[in-house]
C-alpha cells in the first residue's frame, strides 16, 4: 500500500488523484476529517482505505498494520501560518513526522515529506535549498519553525540521502476549498469578484514595493504533483528540494489574471495590513530551482496566466470544482 498522509487535504488529495491517473488504487488515506468539508476532496478519488491519523500512528508504532507499506508520502500537517499553539505545531509537524521517518528508514520504505518555503523567513538569507544554507535559516513564524526543525533533524542525522523533502512555495489550485483563511488569494479573489466586482489587497509598507507589487513564487498544484510523481518513481533521488516556478510575480499580476480569466476588467482596492502581520510579512519569495533540475527532474511549469485560467474556468466556475470529477 502507498500511504498518503493528509490524503484528504489540498496537496495530498491532488497526489492521490495523480496516482489514480497512473492507474494506482492501492492507496491508504491517513488524515483527520473533523468538521470541515475536507471529505469532499475524497469523493471523486479511488483508494483502498481511510485511517484516522492517530489510529494509523498507533498501529505503526505497535506494528499492527494489516498491510505492507511500499511508500509513505507525508503531506499531513497543520498548514496554518498563523497558528499560535506552538506545542500543537511541535507535536503535529515535527514529532509525528519524525516517527514516520524513523519507521520508513528502519523498514527501507520510500519517504517523501512536505517542508515549506515558510522556513526561509523574511527572505534575507535567500531561497537556496543547498543543505548547508538550510541550516542557517531563521523562520519568522512558528509554522515555518516547525518545518525547519524537521529539516534540521534530517540534516543532522545525514538522512537526506534516504528521503525527499519538498519546500513548497505558494501553491494554489483545486481541492484547497476546506482551508478557510489559508486558501489561496486566487480562491478568495474569485469570490470577492463575484460578490463585489473588486478585490482587496494589502498596501505595501516598503518604498521599494508599490501597493500590490509584493512578489511571490506562485506554483500550480498540477505542476507540484507532477514533481511528486517523479520523486515517487525515482527513489534514488533524495535530499531537500525547493518546489516553485523559480519566477516571482506580483499580487497585481495574480489578481489581473483572475479578472482576465473571468472576463472582467481589473478592479483592485488597497487596504491596510493588520498590525500583527506586518512584522512577519514576506515581500518577496522566489524558489531557486537548479538543484531539482540538476537531479534530473524534467518538470515544466505553467505560466501564471495559464494556471489561473485553468483553475478559474475548469474548476471554480464548475458545479463540482474538485479534482477527479
As annotated, the active-site residues are 143, 179
Cβ contact 51:29 at 8 Å: yes
Residue 278: which H helix or E strand, with range?
helix 275-278
| Calpha distance 253→186 (Å, rounded) | 11
Q: Please give the grid coordinates belonging to residue 172.
A: 494554489
Burial class for 243, CB neighbours closer than 10 Å (0-12, 13-18, 19+): buried
| Calpha distance 221→307 (Å, rounded) | 9
Residue 91 is given by DSSP the state I
Cβ contact 284:208 at 8 Å: no
Cβ contact 148:240 at 8 Å: no
- DSSP states along 228-257: HHHHHH-TT--EEEEES-S--EEHHHHHHH
Cβ contact 212:201 at 8 Å: yes
Amino acid at each position: 500500500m502507498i500511504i498518503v498522509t493528509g490524503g484528504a487535504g489540498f496537496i495530498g488529495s491532488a497526489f492521490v488523484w495523480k496516482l489514480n491517473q497512473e492507474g494506482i488504487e492501492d492507496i491508504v488515506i491517513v488524515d483527520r476529517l473533523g468538521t470541515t468539508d475536507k471529505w469532499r476532496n475524497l469523493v471523486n478519488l479511488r483508494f483502498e482505505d481511510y485511517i484516522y491519523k492517530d489510529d494509523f500512528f498507533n498501529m505503526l508504532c505497535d506494528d499492527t498494520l494489516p498491510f505492507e507499506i511500499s511508500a509513505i508520502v507525508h503531506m499531513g500537517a497543520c498548514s496554518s501560518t498563523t497558528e499560535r499553539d506552538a506545542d500543537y505545531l511541535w507535536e503535529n509537524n515535527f514529532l509525528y513526522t519524525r516517527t514516520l521517518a524513523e519507521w520508513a528508514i528502519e523498514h527501507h520504505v520510500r519517504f517523501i515529506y512536505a517542508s515549506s518555503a515558510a522556513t526561509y523567513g523574511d527572505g534575507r538569507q535567500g531561497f537556496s535549498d543547498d543543505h548547508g544554507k538550510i541550516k542557517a535559516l531563521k523562520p519568522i513564524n512558528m509554522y515555518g519553525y516547525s518545518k525547519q526543525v524537521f529539516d534540521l533533524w534530517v540534516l543532522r542525522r545525514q538522512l537526506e540521502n534516504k528521503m525527499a523533502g519538498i519546500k513548497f512555495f505558494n501553491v494554489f489550485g483545486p481541492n484547497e476549498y476546506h482551508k478557510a483563511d489559508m486558501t489561496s488569494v486566487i480562491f478568495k479573489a474569485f469570490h470577492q469578484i463575484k460578490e463585489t466586482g473588486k478585490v482587496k489587497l494589502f498596501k505595501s509598507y516598503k518604498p521599494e514595493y508599490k501597493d500590490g507589487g509584493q512578489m511571490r513564487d506562485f506554483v500550480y498544484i498540477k505542476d507540484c504533483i507532477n514533481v511528486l510523481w517523479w520523486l515517487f518513481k525515482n527513489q534514488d533521488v533524495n535530499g531537500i528540494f525547493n518546489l516553485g516556478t523559480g519566477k516571482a510575480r506580483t499580487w497585481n499580476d495574480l489578481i489581473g489574471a483572475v479578472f482576465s480569466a473571468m472576463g472582467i476588467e481589473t478592479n483592485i482596492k488597497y487596504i491596510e495590513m493588520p498590525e500583527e502581520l506586518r512584522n512577519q510579512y514576506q515581500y518577496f519569495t522566489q524558489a531557486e530551482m537548479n538543484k531539482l533540475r540538476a537531479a534530473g527532474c524534467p518538470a515544466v511549469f505553467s505560466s501564471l496566466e495559464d494556471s489561473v485560467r485553468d483553475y478559474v474556468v475548469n474548476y471554480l466556475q464548475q458545479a463540482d470544482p474538485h479534482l477527479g470529477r
